[in-house]
A and B are shown apart, each in its own frame.
Chain A
Amino acid sequence: MRRRYGIAATLTTALLVIAAAAIATATGCRGGASHEAAAADSAASHEKKLNLYIWSAYMPQDVLDDFTKQTGIAVHFDLYDSNESVLEKLQSGVADYDLVVPSDYMVRILIHLSLIQPLLKDRLRGLENLDPRFLNKGFDPSNRFSLPYVWGTTGYGYSRERVKGTPDSWAPLFDPANKGQILMLDDMRECFSAALKSLGESINTRDAAILRKAADLLKKQKPLVKTYNSSDFENILAAGDVTYAHGYNGQIAKVIAANPGRFGYVVPKEGATIWVDSVCVPAQARHTDAIYAFLNFILDPRVDARIINAISYASGNGAALPFIKPEIVHDPAIYAPEEALVRCEFVEDIGDATELMDEFWTEIKAQ
C-alpha cells in the first residue's frame, strides 16, 4: 500500500524525531537502562510472544489464530496508516515491535538509519518461494533486510459508463477533451512518473532536459485537472466527480469490487510506478524465536495464499500463485498484466535531481 504524506510532512516528522534523538544522546542517561534491557532481551528472545506493526487490512485474524494454535506464540498487532509512522515508532527506540511492513522507499531509509536488522537467512525456510521479480531491488540490493510481502502499481481508475472502449495508455489523462474530468495524485513523484512514462522515459531519470519536458507536460495538463488528491481519490471517482482518477491500485480495486461493472483500472502500457511492501525486523526486536517461526509460517505458499485471498493484494510469494483465487490473479487492478509490468519501475532516490523536480513541482502547483 502506497500512502505518503507530502515531503514537507515527512521532513518535519524526521526533523522532530532527529532533534529528539539528539537530545536523548546528549543527555546520555541511557547507559544504565540499556544494560538492564540487554539482560531482559536475551530472556525475551525465547518468549512466546510476537508484536506485529502492520498496515490495516494487511493480515487476516484467522491466519494469526492458526499460527498461535500451531506454535503457542501469542500474536499481538497494531495498525499504522503511513510509512512515516513506522519511522517515528522505530526512531523512538522504545517501541516493542518485532515485525514491520514498510514500503520500498521507507525500507531504504530504515536501512540507512540502522533501524532494522539483517535477517538470519539460515533460520528461514522457503526463501525460494519468493517472486524473483521483487528480489534484489535498489532499496535492499541483496535482500539482507527485507522480504517482499505484497506489491502493487500506480495507474489510474476510470468510469466504464463514460469511457468508450478500454483505455490502455496514459494519453487520456493528458487529453484536452477530458478537461475537468481528471484527478491526479497530489504527489510529486507520482505525477512526474505519469508524465515521464507517457514521454517514454524512466521515472528515475536525473536528466534536467527530460525533467523539464515532463514538467512542461504537467503544466499543460494542469488546466485539465479537476483536483490533485491522494487521500480519498477513490471516493471521488466512485461518486462520479471525475472520469479518470490517477491512483494506487489497492484503493481503486475496492471501488471496482463495490460497484460491479462500473469502474476499471489501467496499468498504462508505457509503464508506471510499482511498489512493494516488505517484512522487516526492527533493530530493537526482542522475540527472535517467535519472529523466525512467524516468517517461516507466512513463507509457506498455502498460508500466504490464505492471506492474499483475504486481503486482495498481489503477493510477493510467487509459489503461492496456484493457491490464490483466480478472480484475484486475473484482476488487473490487483495483479498488473505481465506486459505492462515489465515497463514498471520502483521509485528510486534521484539525488540532486529531487531539488530540480521540487522546483518544477512548485511552479506547476503555483501556476
Chain B
Amino acid sequence: MRGRGGFLRAHTWLIYLFLYAPIAILVVFSFNKATQTAVWQGFTTEWYGSLVHNDLILTSVRNSLIVGVAATVVATVFGTLVALALGRYAFRGEGLTRNLLYLPIIIPEVVIGAALVTFFGVVGLRLSLVTVILAHVVFSVSYVAIVVRARLSGFDRSLEEAALDLGARPLQTFWRVTLPLILPGIVSGTLLVFTVSIDDYVITSFVAGVGATTLPLQIYSMLKVGVTPEVNAVSTLLLLLTVVLIVIAQRLQQPPPEGVRD
C-alpha cells in the first residue's frame, strides 16, 4: 500500500514539475547576471532596475493597461447585460444567442485577427490603439457573459420578487438586490477578461497600428533579437500580475455559502 501511495505522489510531483518547471526557470533566470540567458552567472536584480528606464517597455506597458482597462469596462457592461437577458428571459433565438456567445472563444485567434483586420479595412478604420481595444472587446464580451451567466444559474428569483412586493421599483431592485448578488460573478469575469487582454498576442498582432505596441508584442519583438534577461524580468512581472488576478477571480467564482442564499 505504502509503495503505491509513494508512486502516486511521485507521479503527481512529476506532472507538476512538467507544468511548472519552465516557468520556474524563467523566473530564476530573470535574476541571472549573464546577458545571454542560457548560462547562470550569479544573482542580480539589475534587469528589474533597467526595465524602469526602458522607454519602449514602459510605453508598451502603458498601452497594455489602456487596452486592458478600456476593453474590460466595455466588455463588462455588455457581457453582464447579455448574461442577464439570457439568464432570465425566454425569447426567440435564445439558444442561437447562447451558442453564438461561445464562438469568439472557440474560433482560432488567427481567424478572428484576420477577420477583424479585413473588417477594419472595409470600413476604412486606420489601425491604432482603438482598433486593438475594439478587437479585445470582441472576445472579452463572451468571457464576461459566460462567467456572469454561471453565477445567475444559482440565483434565487424570489429575492427580487420580495423586493418588488415590498414596494421597490424595478430599477431600485436591480441596484439594491440583483447587482450585489451577481457582483462576485461580474468581478471575476472582469478580472478574467483583464488578464486575457493583457496577455493577448495573436489577435493584437493583427490589429495593432501606429503607437499600439502592447507588452506581449514588445516582448515578442525583443525575443527576435535574442532573449535578454530583461524579457525574463518583464515576463515574470506579467506572470505575477496574471496569477494574482486569476486567484482573486477564482475566489470570487466560488458559490456563496448556503447561509447567504436562505
From A56, A234, A240, A259, contact of B221 by CB (8 A)? A56
CA distance A61 to B53 in the complex (A): 13
Complex interface: chain A residues within 8 A of B210 (CB):
51, 76, 78, 95-97
Q: Does A92 contact B (CB under 8 A)?
A: yes
Q: Are B117 and A20 neighbours in the complex by a CB distance under 8 Å?
A: yes
A94 in contact with B124 given A20-B114, A235-B227 (CB within 8 Å):
yes
Q: Are A56 and B225 neighbours in the complex by a CB distance under 8 Å?
A: yes
Q: Are B39 and A239 neighbours in the complex by a CB distance under 8 Å?
A: yes
Complex interface: chain A residues within 8 A of B110 (CB):
12, 16
CA distance A290 to B121 in the complex (A): 25
Report the stretch among B81-89, B92-100, B125-133, B171-179 that lies at the interface: B125-133
B114 CB, nearest partner CB in chain A, Å: 4
A94 in contact with B126 given A56-B225, A232-B227, A235-B37 (CB within 8 Å):
yes
Q: Are A94 and B224 neighbours in the complex by a CB distance under 8 Å?
A: no
Q: Does A11 contact B (CB under 8 A)?
A: no
CA distance A85 to B55 in the complex (A): 23
Q: Are A82 and B117 neighbours in the complex by a CB distance under 8 Å?
A: no
CB interface residues, A 4-20, toward B, < 8 Å: 12, 16-17, 19-20
CB interface residues, B 156-213, toward A, < 8 Å: 205-206, 208-213
From A20, A95, A235, A250, contact of B38 by CB (8 A)? A235
B119 CB, nearest partner CB in chain A, Å: 9
From B34, B124, B218, contact of A79 by CB (8 A)? B218
A309 CB, nearest partner CB in chain B, Å: 17
Q: Does A80 contact B (CB under 8 A)?
A: yes
Least CB separation from B121: chain A residue: A93
Task: Classify chain B's interface size.
Answer: 35 or more
CB interface residues, B 126-157, toward A, < 8 Å: 126-128
Q: Does A112 contact B (CB under 8 A)?
A: no
A154 CB, nearest partner CB in chain B, Å: 16
Complex interface: chain B residues within 8 A of A20 (CB):
114-115, 117-118, 121
CA distance A134 to B110 in the complex (A): 36
Q: Does B25 contact A (CB under 8 A)?
A: no
Report the stretch among A29-37, A102-110, A214-222, A321-329 that lies at the interface: A29-37
Q: Does A356 contact B (CB under 8 A)?
A: no
CA distance A239 to B217 in the complex (A): 26
CA distance A76 to B212 in the complex (A): 10
Q: Are A24 and B121 neighbours in the complex by a CB distance under 8 Å?
A: yes
A-side interface residues, number (CB < 8 Å):
50
CB interface residues, B 46-104, toward A, < 8 Å: 55-56
Q: Are A239 and B209 neighbours in the complex by a CB distance under 8 Å?
A: no
CA distance A34 to B124 in the complex (A): 7
Complex interface: chain B residues within 8 A of A97 (CB):
210
Q: Does B44 contact A (CB under 8 A)?
A: no
Q: Are A96 and B121 neighbours in the complex by a CB distance under 8 Å?
A: no
Complex interface: chain B residues within 8 A of A254 (CB):
36, 225-226
From A16, A27, A235, contact of B114 by CB (8 A)? A16
Q: Are A57 and B36 neighbours in the complex by a CB distance under 8 Å?
A: no
Q: Does A350 contact B (CB under 8 A)?
A: no
Complex interface: chain A residues within 8 A of B127 (CB):
89, 92, 94-96
Q: Does A21 contact B (CB under 8 A)?
A: yes
Known: A16-B110, A23-B118, A238-B38. 15 other contacts (CB 8 A): A3-B224, A12-B110, A16-B111, A20-B121, A21-B121, A24-B121, A27-B122, A30-B124, A37-B124, A55-B221, A76-B210, A85-B205, A92-B127, A94-B125, A96-B127
List the 6 closest A-B pairs by CB distance, nearest first.
A33-B124, A239-B38, A20-B118, A79-B221, A56-B221, A81-B224
- 30 A-B contact pairs sorted by A residue (CB < 8 Å): A1-B225, A16-B110, A20-B114, A24-B122, A27-B122, A29-B122, A29-B123, A30-B124, A33-B124, A55-B224, A56-B221, A57-B225, A76-B210, A76-B211, A78-B208, A79-B218, A81-B220, A81-B221, A81-B224, A94-B117, A94-B120, A94-B121, A94-B209, A96-B128, A97-B210, A235-B37, A235-B38, A236-B38, A254-B226, A255-B36
